[in-house]
Amino acid sequence: MSDSTPLPEPAGFPPVTVLAAIRRRPLRFLGSWWPWRCWAYLGSGFLIGYPVLLVLVLLLGFGVALAVVGIGLLLLLGAVVAGVPLGALERWRLRWVEPEPVPDPHTSLAGAGPAAWLRTRLRERATWREFAYATLLGPVFGAAGFAVVTLLAFALILVATPAIVWAIAPEPVMLIPGRPVSGPLEALGGTAVGLAGMVVAAYTGALLAAAQVKTARLLLGPRVEADRILELTRSRVRLVDAFEAERRRIERDLHDGAQQQLVALSMTLGLAELELRGIPQAAGAAALVARGRGEAKVALEQLRDLVRGIHPQVLTDHGLAAAVAEVALRHPVPVTVDLDVPRLAESVEITAYFTVTEALANAAKHSGASRVAVVGKVEGDRLTLTVTDDGRGGADPGAGAGLAGLADRVAMLKGRLVVSSPVGGPTRLRVEVPCSG
């Protein structure tokens, strides 16, 4: 889909991770860079993990032993905050196997100097989580990494046996003890076993790397971030709901207030006109009243269009298909509507409706289209809607505030909006929204 420009996508479409790479194309995974990245990650993890383990054991051991002296406490504190630079290193190293960077969980410092640094860091949960990660790194991930890298090393040696046999001939080589291999060709069996070993090392390496990524995300990433995103999404949902409620209120106020007043006015004028018609001397006044009534009528028509634009009652009463059919009837460009949808949740119907009206308005204003087609259906629990015109295309989804706003609304419903508008047309707008029912 090189011709389509996806608008800001909602959360839930992350870049490819190692597990996704395996799941999507298990065989192509072997030929990709992924296994190498995982091996490098695990191997270097082993190289870092054991020194870290050693340092921690020493610091903690001496710390506990010397605690009564006082300096032991300092050693213990040192062991805890040693996790901070290690965390930074590990977050950087994570980039080898994780496309999405893990942000630094630490807050800014409350003052200058080592004392302030120590005070701030020791009070943070992030520091303690990093310490927990540091204790895991050597014994758990280091060991696992060591196992995989060792397996890989043996596999590589086996793969290379024909070359080794050839290099050290005529000395005998024994792949299986007691049975010397006579030449490079016979050593090909070892190559096969080695390749199998590499495949195993690739998959286990990937799974281990994925497990470590998960753990690292949990322990090295900011916890509050997730809460904040959830809170942000919630507040956006609240905003959209409030916005919608406000629209309904304005529509109701106009309907119950100004519209009824205007109808009453035009009724009174109509009665006055009737009375005046009976009086020959008042012909001029009758004409004026008739004009006033005509003006009230125009005002009513304008108000009706305005109210419909704010919130179409037919959408509430008759649903999406009927409301879109009404819009199609009024559209300056012929619109064919093929909407096979039941009544849906109100938020889904409103979003779908405004998507269609926005697309139709754009088609009429910019595209030079001579036909527009609206097609919609519910499959499983997803509503898909496409609006296609035969215009000249070249629409820039980023430019229209209307489309960006729609993308936000669609994202709120955990759906997606895709606009495809190559120069020369056609322009196609597609919405997918989950809906239950």
Among 93, 217, 247, 304, binds another protein (CB under 8 A): 304
> In the complex, what is the shortest distance from the CB of residue 246 to another protein, in angstroms, rounded to a whole number?
16
> In the complex, what is the shortest distance from the CB of residue 251 to another protein, in angstroms, rounded to a whole number?
10
Name which of 320, 338, 342, 350 is nearest 437 in CA terms: 342
> In the complex, what is the shortest distance from the CB of residue 278 to another protein, in angstroms, rounded to a whole number?
12
Could you identify the residue written with the tokens 């040693």? 82
Query: Is the distance from CB of 320 to CB of 355 less than 8 angstroms?
Result: no
391: left (phi over 0), alpha (psi -120 to 50) or beta: beta
- What per-residue string of b and e applies to 106-124 under the rule 16 or more CB within 10 Å gives b? beeeeeeeeeeeeebbeee
405 touches another protein (CB under 8 A):
no
Number of residues in the chain: 437
Name which of 204, 107, 74 is nearest 147 in CA terms: 204
What does residue 202 show for φ and ψ, rounded to 5 degrees? -65, -50
273 touches another protein (CB under 8 A):
yes
> In the complex, what is the shortest distance from the CB of residue 304 to another protein, in angstroms, rounded to a whole number?
7
> In the complex, what is the shortest distance from the CB of residue 401 to another protein, in angstroms, rounded to a whole number?
28
Per CB under 8 A, the segment of 24-32, 39-47, 249-257, 410-418 that binds another protein is 249-257
Among 328, 344, 352, 411, binds another protein (CB under 8 A): 328
> Alpha-carbon distance 230 to 197, whole Å?
44
336 touches another protein (CB under 8 A):
yes
Could you identify the residue written with the tokens 């060991």? 143
Per CB under 8 A, the segment of 218-226, 239-247, 254-262, 341-349 that binds another protein is 254-262
Name which of 143, 137, 55, 147 is nearest 91 in CA terms: 137
Among 75, 210, 219, 296, binds another protein (CB under 8 A): 296
160 touches another protein (CB under 8 A):
no
> In the complex, what is the shortest distance from the CB of residue 390 to another protein, in angstroms, rounded to a whole number?
14
334 touches another protein (CB under 8 A):
yes
Nearer to another protein, 164 or 258 (CB): 258
244 touches another protein (CB under 8 A):
no
> Alpha-carbon distance 418 to 435, whole Å?
18
**How far are the Cα atoms of 121, 229, 235, 258 from residue 127, in angstroms, in the given order?**
6, 22, 30, 62
H-type helices in 221-282, by residue range? 223-254, 260-277
Among 168, 271, 279, 283, binds another protein (CB under 8 A): 271
Q: H or E element: which one contains 321?
A: helix 320-330
What number of chain residues touch another protein (CB under 8 A)? 41
> Alpha-carbon distance 254 to 306, whole Å?
9
Among 119, 214, 291, 330, binds another protein (CB under 8 A): 330
> In the complex, what is the shortest distance from the CB of residue 264 to another protein, in angstroms, rounded to a whole number?
5
State the number of CA atoms in the 13 A half-sphere of 65 facing the CB.
Answer: 6
Among 4, 44, 233, 268, binds another protein (CB under 8 A): 268
Query: Is the distance from CB of 360 to CB of 387 less than 8 angstroms?
Result: yes
Give the tokens for residue 123. Answer: 């009070």
Among 122, 229, 274, 287, binds another protein (CB under 8 A): 274
Per CB under 8 A, the segment of 39-47, 73-81, 315-323, 354-362 that binds another protein is 315-323
346 touches another protein (CB under 8 A):
no
What does residue 419 show for φ and ψ, rounded to 5 degrees? -110, 125
Nearer to another protein, 150 or 313 (CB): 313
267 touches another protein (CB under 8 A):
yes
Name which of 331, 327, 336 is nearest 386 in CA terms: 336
Nearer to another protein, 118 or 258 (CB): 258
Nearer to another protein, 32 or 261 (CB): 261
235 touches another protein (CB under 8 A):
no
> In the complex, what is the shortest distance from the CB of residue 307 to another protein, in angstroms, rounded to a whole number?
8
Query: Is the distance from CB of 387 to CB of 359 less than 8 angstroms?
Result: yes
Residue type, 41: Y
Residues forming contacts to another protein in the complex (CB under 8 A) are 252, 255-256, 259-261, 263-264, 266-271, 273-274, 293, 296-297, 300-301, 304, 307-308, 312-314, 316-318, 322-323, 325-326, 328-331, 334-336
